[in-house]
């Protein structure tokens, strides 16, 4: 697993597959393993760049606070070192928010965006949830904390009858041991999410964009996707049935299929 130095941080990154480059950005506290149930399908058509964000996975912890724009700059630095000039981006939750900053920083380099389970401005509802998590992560053991987050990520279906793939993913995650980079790292990522607000800037973009949202997503409900679409010309919202916030884990085949159908219509040369 290579680590690339970007500024003062070393970031963990993997590449897999062939085709047009597709940068994958995971959400709050997550690492590149979060794509385990979709990466094989995506890699059949794209060269994947799977990045552990700063303060997550095997990347370095940040020495101080930062914003999501700084995480977008990290991603651009990784792509520069890999020699990738133009690319597509798929971001989930916080990863989708980072992707918005990335497109604003480098609009000519981002060919298209797939934004899943994400938002463009942190309102009072989401801020209340994130602020509560910021307190809980310090007071609970990591396993207890992540168990408490499960209802925000998955629908009742995954509690009643989880798929074999999801059960295997969760068991593998537990077997890896460390579930969070650290309490301080998680809190820094939350603070970056709390400050996220680019709705007023998105009209500057002309990037083809697909917004994927689970119809049962209670953390970033469909109204967030519609707000981003209203600000971003050339975007479309696609509701994924019978799934929640972690749609890339709960219904991974459907998620990958819809993302790939959209990406097939976008070409780097366009």
- Torsions phi, psi for 165 (to 5 deg): -65, -40
pLDDT at 179: 64
The SS3 assignment for 66 reads: coil
Predicted local distance difference test score (pLDDT) of residue 1? 61
What pLDDT is recorded for position 184? 95
Asked if 137 contacts 145 with a C-beta cutoff of 8 angstroms, the reply is: yes
Judging by beta carbons within 10 Å of its beta carbon (0-12, 13-18, 19+), is residue 164 exposed, middle or buried?
A: exposed
* Averaged pLDDT, groups of 10, the chain, 270 residues long: 89 96 97 95 98 96 97 98 97 98 98 98 98 94 87 94 88 70 94 98 97 98 98 95 97 98 87
- Signed CA dihedral, 100, 120, 220, 229: sign only: negative
* Torsion on CA atoms 242, 40, 236, 263, rounded to nearest 10: -160
User: Tell me, what's the pLDDT at 170?
Assistant: 82
**Residue 200 exposed, middle or buried by CB count within 10 Å (0-12, 13-18, 19+):** exposed
Record the tokens describing residue 91, joined without a space. 């971001």
- Residue 47 neighbours by CB distance under 10 Å: 18
d(Cα 75, Cα 243) in Å, to the nearest integer? 28
Which tokens in the block code for residue 237? 């919202």
Pairing between β-strand 235-240 and β-strand 110-116 as defined by DSSP bridges: unpaired
- Provide φ and ψ at 163, rounded to 5°: -70, 155
Beta strands 3-6 and 209-214, pairing class: unpaired
Q: How far apart are CA 68 and CA 118, in angstroms?
A: 13
Rounded to 5°, angle at Cα 173 from 172 and 175: 60
Residue 98, pLDDT score: 98
Query: Mind listing the domains of the chain with CATH numbers?
Result: 3-264 (3.40.50.1820)
């Amino acid at each position: 697993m290579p680590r690339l130095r970007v500024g003062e941080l070393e970031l963990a990154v993997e590449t897999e597959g062939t085709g047009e480059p597709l940068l994958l950005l995971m959400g709050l506290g997550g690492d590149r393993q979060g794509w385990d149930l979709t990466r094989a399908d995506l890699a059949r058509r794209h060269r994947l760049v799977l990045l552990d964000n700063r303060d997550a996975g095997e990347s370095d912890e940040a020495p101080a606070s930062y914003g999501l724009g700084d995480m977008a700059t990290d991603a651009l630095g990784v792509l520069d070192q890999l020699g990738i000039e133009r690319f597509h981006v798929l971001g989930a939750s916080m990863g989708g928010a980072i992707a918005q900053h990335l497109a604003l920083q480098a609009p000519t380099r981002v060919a298209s965006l797939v934004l899943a389970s994400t938002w463009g401005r942190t309102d009072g509802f989401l801020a209340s949830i994130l602020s509560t998590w910021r307190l809980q992560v310090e007071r609970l053991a990591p396993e207890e904390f992540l168990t408490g987050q499960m209802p925000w990520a998955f629908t009742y279906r995954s509690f009643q009858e989880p798929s074999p793939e999801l059960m295997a993913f969760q068991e593998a995650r537990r077997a890896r041991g460390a579930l969070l980079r650290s309490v301080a790292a998680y809190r820094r990522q939350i603070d970056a999410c709390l400050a996220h607000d680019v709705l007023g800037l998105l009209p500057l973009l002309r990037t083809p964009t697909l917004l994927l949202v689970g119809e049962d997503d209670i953390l970033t409900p469909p109204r967030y996707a519609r707000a981003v679409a209203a600000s971003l010309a050339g975007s479309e919202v696609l509701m994924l049935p019978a799934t929640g916030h972690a749609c890339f884990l709960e219904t991974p085949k459907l998620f990958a299929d819809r993302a790939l159908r959209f990406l097939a219509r976008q070409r780097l040369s366009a």
